[in-house]
Structure formats: structure tokens, C-alpha cells
């Protein structure tokens, strides 16, 4: 990548412990707290800030000035730090924040606070535009090397399903393409936790002013357990579809007619169910329940303004690690059973289902076709496997690729999105039909959500099993793939199975 500041390996003095001596009387005031920088790291950061300000001033007025120059520092944090709990406990009113975890994968977690730079776009080229801006910022950034999953300088956020999706008032703050470079990021893999602070240096800034801003931010960080759901809430919850079930069944029936007439092979149709609570939904408490109950899923929560988009998604869209890319074709589902023999029988029925196998094959074929022009080879499992989640099981086909040239995670997400698992085949036909039949603004539902680092590695999941929280109202989304043999009543029942991931948590 581009130029970076020196990054000596952190030693025992990487963080100033509670017993460290106070700074000299002539030095600027130091920020107390568990996340304060030690003298050595503070010196490294100051040097980078000086370099960033100097570089920004040299570029003043030129076409290359762009957004400014990013300066960042990554240091180890205590092993017992819970990244998401720190973010939920340290949010400033109205500021953006983001958490994502997959507990079963080496306790992977990334949690971010604030926004040093917002990378936003809309329209068909939104992935390309965001990727290009991030590449330019990362190439000129003064930061430590990204040598661990999610550690270091990152951009995190998501994309709407449609090029201009999220125009409805309830999606305010969730732009069609929106990645934020956070002011503070905490990344965990296994028992290792890394803390990164970042700031954008502009020509009129000073190193001392930027350093003071960062230290104030670090002084506000708090580490406390996530809030718990109220076990006995006062008041009643109301759960209702935004449209009657008959509307959804009719939409499925019309889609089947189009498919049987030869217009398309598959289309995914979603429905929205609203949960009206007696008090504001607590995103932190809901997130805590999801990561504990769905440890194999991508559990995430993205906060924008007074709203939060939260999910426990089973579907990886793309993971990029160097020249390797991996994804998962996920389509076809059935319920779980507490009886192991019945559960296995349900899974075997799913494997033998002609309707579900056709749906799965459509998704896998399209993903392979999208990756092949950019890869030396693409390998997919010969047969789908059963993937079991807490309340549902799916047909899944793992797909891997060796890239022929460096294509970043954001660009790869744009190449794959939307897969037939959330859109349709061919999408040129299915795309205009989806909003016409659903009657919904999907916003970020079924869009890519995740992160990328300065190497352009990263991962994005598909926003499924999700809800948009705004005050006392939660909008839950679930969809199914419609093919020629789909039965409207059965497809409605499948959305109920998928909604069961969140509704019990949201509805008291």
C-alpha cells in the first residue's frame, strides 16, 4: 500500500498502566482512563499528526488535496476488553457507530465509534466510487500496517439493496452507499484486542489540536457489560405486518405466473413486520441477545442518528484475504427441531427438495460467473451442504477463488451484489419487479454490510434476519426465493420461520 509511519512492535510500555508516573508539569494535560496512550505511543502519534498536517498543507489548493490526510495509531488493548460493549457504552449522542461479531470464528469482533471521514455515494456506480475514495485515502494514510483481521485503519458500514435505496424517511441516515472511517476502532481475534485511533488532518489543523481531540475521545471510552433486556416490561407490544399476509401471498402468486411464462427463473420477495414497543427498543440489549443466541452468524449493529440497523445474518457475501476470495451460496431453508432425529430428517428433506436444489443452483452459478473473469480459478463444492443455525437450517455451497489481480473487498461486493439469493435471475428482469410486487423500500435490508482495511481486504455479509430500530418502532424484514414450483402459503410460512430469529427478542 502507500506510505505509512513507522510501526515498531508494541512493547510492555504500549499502554500507560494505572501505576505509571504522571507526566511532567510542563507537558500538556494527559487523559486518564484505561485507554490512555503511553508516552511512547503518544510520541509516535504526535509525529504522524505532524507529518499529516504538513502533507495536507503542501497539497492545499491542488487536485490531490482531496479529503485531507488520515493519521492513525494502533496499539494493543487489554485481553478482557469487549469491543462492542465499549462502543455501546461510550457513544456520543447522535454520532455514528458500528459493531460486528462472529463469535464462533475465533471470537471475531470489530466495533467503531465516530466518523473521521464519510465515504458515501448513490446510483449504479456507488461501489466503484466508494472503493476509489477509500483506495486514495488509504494510499496516503500514515498508519500501522493492517496485519490482523479488522485491526488498524478501516472503513465500515453498508450499502442499500437498490442503487438509490433508503429514500423513505424511516431510512434517514442510511445512504445507498455509506462507509465511515471511524475515530476509534476496537478489533478482536481470539484473545488479542487492538485499539486504533484515527483523525483526518486538514491544512488548517495543528498536530497539538488533533492530539488533544484524540486524547479527549480516548478519555471518554468506558468498558461495561451490555445492557440486559427487561424481563418484565411494562406495557404491551403490538406486532403487525406492514401489509396483510394475503398481499404477500398474492405477490408470490403473480411472481410464479411470470416465472412459468418464461420471463425469469427466480425472484426474491420480502415482507416487513413492525413491532411497536411500549418504550424505545434498546439496541445494546438486543445485540447482546443476538450474539449469544446466534454465535455462528454475522451479528452486526449500525447506528446512524437516532436509528440502529441490527441483524444476525447467516450469509457471507465476500471475504477477501490477499489474493484469496471466499463466499457462500445460501438458498433454500427449513425449520429446526429440538428432537435431533426430527431435525436431521428435516435437513435431509431439504437436501432432497427439488425446488430448493434448483434455487440453490441458480445462486451458485451466478456467483461463479461473477467471480470467474477476475480469478485464476473458482472452486465450488460439488454438492450443497446443510448449515444449521439456531432456529433454521439452509442449503449452502461454499465457493472459493484465487484472484488474478488485486480486486478490493468493496469492489468484489459490488460485483456479487445482489446475488440471486436476495434478488433474482436474471436480475435485469427481477430488479424492477421486486419493488413493484413487494411495495417496500428495502433500504439496507439484503444489502452488503461489513468493513475493509488499508490492504483492501475485508468482509461483507448480506443483511438478513434484520430489523431497523427507531424509537419504539422496529421494522423486521424477511424474504424467500420464488421459483416455478413455489407455493404462496408455504413461502409465507417460510418468512415466519426467518422472522423468528428477531421477533421473540423484539416483542418482549
Q: Of 101, 183, 265, 266, which one is the catalytic site residue?
A: 266
- Phi, psi (deg, nearest 5) at residue 117: -145, 135
- CB of 198 within 8 A of CB of 114? no
For the record, the C-alpha cell of 291 comes out as 450474539
- CB of 36 within 8 A of CB of 108? no
Q: Of 101, 183, 272, 315, which one is the catalytic site residue?
A: 315
The question of whether 388 is a catalytic residue gets the answer no
In Å, how far are 242, 249, 314, 331, 498 from 494, measured between CA atoms? 17, 12, 15, 12, 6
The two beta strands, 466-470 and 307-313, are antiparallel
Residue (of 134, 136, 130) closest to 178 by Cα position: 130
Residue (of 367, 349, 165, 361) closest to 270 by Cα position: 165
Helix (H) or strand (E) segment spanning residue 351: helix 340-352
DSSP string covering 95-121: --EEEEEETTTTTEEEEEES-SEEEEE
- Cα separation, 353 vs 347, in Å, equals 10
- CB of 241 within 8 A of CB of 273? yes
Question: 303 - beta bridge partners?
Answer: 97, 308
Per residue, what are the HEC states of 223-234?
A: CCCCCCCCCCCC
Helices (H) and strands (E) in the chain, counts: 12, 22
Residue 273, sorted as left (phi over 0), alpha (psi -120 to 50) or beta, turns out to be beta
Burial of 100 (0-12, 13-18, 19+ CB in 10 A): buried
Active site residues: 266, 315
Amino acid at each position: 500500500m502507500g506510505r505509512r509511519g513507522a510501526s515498531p512492535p508494541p512493547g510492555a510500555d504500549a499502554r500507560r498502566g494505572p501505576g505509571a508516573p504522571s507526566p511532567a508539569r510542563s507537558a500538556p494535560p494527559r487523559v486518564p482512563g484505561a485507554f490512555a496512550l503511553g508516552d511512547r505511543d503518544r510520541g509516535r502519534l504526535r509525529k504522524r499528526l505532524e507529518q499529516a498536517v504538513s502533507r495536507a498543507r503542501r497539497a492545499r489548493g491542488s487536485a490531490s488535496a482531496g479529503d485531507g490526510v488520515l493519521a492513525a495509531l494502533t496499539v494493543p488493548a487489554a485481553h478482557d476488553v469487549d469491543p462492542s460493549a465499549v462502543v455501546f457504552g461510550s457513544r456520543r449522542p447522535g454520532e455514528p457507530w458500528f459493531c460486528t461479531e462472529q463469535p464462533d470464528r475465533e471470537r471475531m469482533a470489530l466495533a467503531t465509534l465516530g466518523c473521521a471521514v464519510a465515504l458515501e455515494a448513490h446510483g449504479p456506480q456507488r461501489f466503484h466510487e466508494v472503493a476509489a475514495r477509500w483506495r486514495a485515502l488509504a494510499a496516503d494514510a500514515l498508519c500501522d500496517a493492517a496485519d490482523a483481521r479488522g485491526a488498524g485503519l478501516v472503513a465500515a458500514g453498508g450499502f442499500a439493496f437498490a442503487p438509490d435505496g433508503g429514500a423513505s424517511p424511516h431510512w434517514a441516515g442510511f445512504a445507498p452507499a455509506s462507509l465511515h472511517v471511524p475515530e476509534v476502532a476496537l478489533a478482536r481475534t481470539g484473545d488479542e484486542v487492538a485499539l486504533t485511533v484515527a483523525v483526518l488532518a486538514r491544512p488548517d489543523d495543528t498536530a497539538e489540536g488533533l492530539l488533544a481531540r484524540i486524547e479527549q475521545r480516548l478519555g471518554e471510552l468506558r468498558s461495561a457489560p451490555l445492557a440486559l433486556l427487561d424481563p418484565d416490561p411494562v406495557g404491551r407490544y403490538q406486532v403487525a405486518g406492514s401489509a396483510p399476509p394475503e398481499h404477500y401471498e398474492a405477490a408470490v402468486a403473480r411472481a410464479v405466473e411470470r416465472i412459468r411464462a418464461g420471463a425469469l427463473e427466480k425472484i426474491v420477495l420480502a415482507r416487513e413486520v413492525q413491532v411497536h414497543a411500549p418504550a424505545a427498543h434498546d439496541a445494546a440489549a438486543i445485540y447482546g441477545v443476538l450474539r449469544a443466541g446466534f454465535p455462528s452468524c454475522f451479528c452486526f449493529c449500525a447506528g446512524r442518528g437516532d436509528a440502529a440497523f441490527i441483524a444476525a445474518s447467516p450469509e457471507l457475501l465476500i471475504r477477501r484475504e490477499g489474493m484469496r476470495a471466499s463466499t457462500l451460496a445460501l438458498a433454500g431453508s427449513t425449520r429446526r427441531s429440538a428432537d435431533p432425529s426430527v431435525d436431521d430428517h428435516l435437513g435431509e428433506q431439504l437436501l432432497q427438495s427439488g425446488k430448493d436444489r434448483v434455487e440453490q443452483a441458480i445462486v451458485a452459478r451466478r456467483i461463479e460467473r461473477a467471480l470467474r473473469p477476475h480469478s485464476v480459478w473458482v472452486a465450488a463444492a460439488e454438492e450443497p451442504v446443510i448449515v444449521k443455525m439456531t432456529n433454521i437450517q439452509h442449503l449452502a455451497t461454499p465457493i472459493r477463488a484465487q484472484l488474478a489481480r488485486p480486486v478490493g473487498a468493496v469492489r468484489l461486493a459490488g460485483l456479487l451484489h445482489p446475488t440471486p439469493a436476495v434478488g433474482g435471475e436474471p436480475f435485469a428482469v427481477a430488479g424492477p419487479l421486486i419493488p413493484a410486487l413487494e411495495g417496500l423500500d428495502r433500504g439496507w435490508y439484503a444489502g452488503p454490510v461489513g468493513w475493509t482495511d488499508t490492504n483492501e481486504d475485508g468482509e461483507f455479509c448480506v443483511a438478513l434476519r434484520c430489523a431497523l430500530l427507531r424509537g419504539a418502532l422496529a421494522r423486521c424484514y424477511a424474504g424467500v426465493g420464488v421459483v416455478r414450483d413455489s407455493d404462496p402459503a408455504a413461502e409465507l410460512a417460510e418468512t415466519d420461520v426467518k422472522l423468528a430469529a428477531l421477533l421473540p427478542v423484539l416483542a418482549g
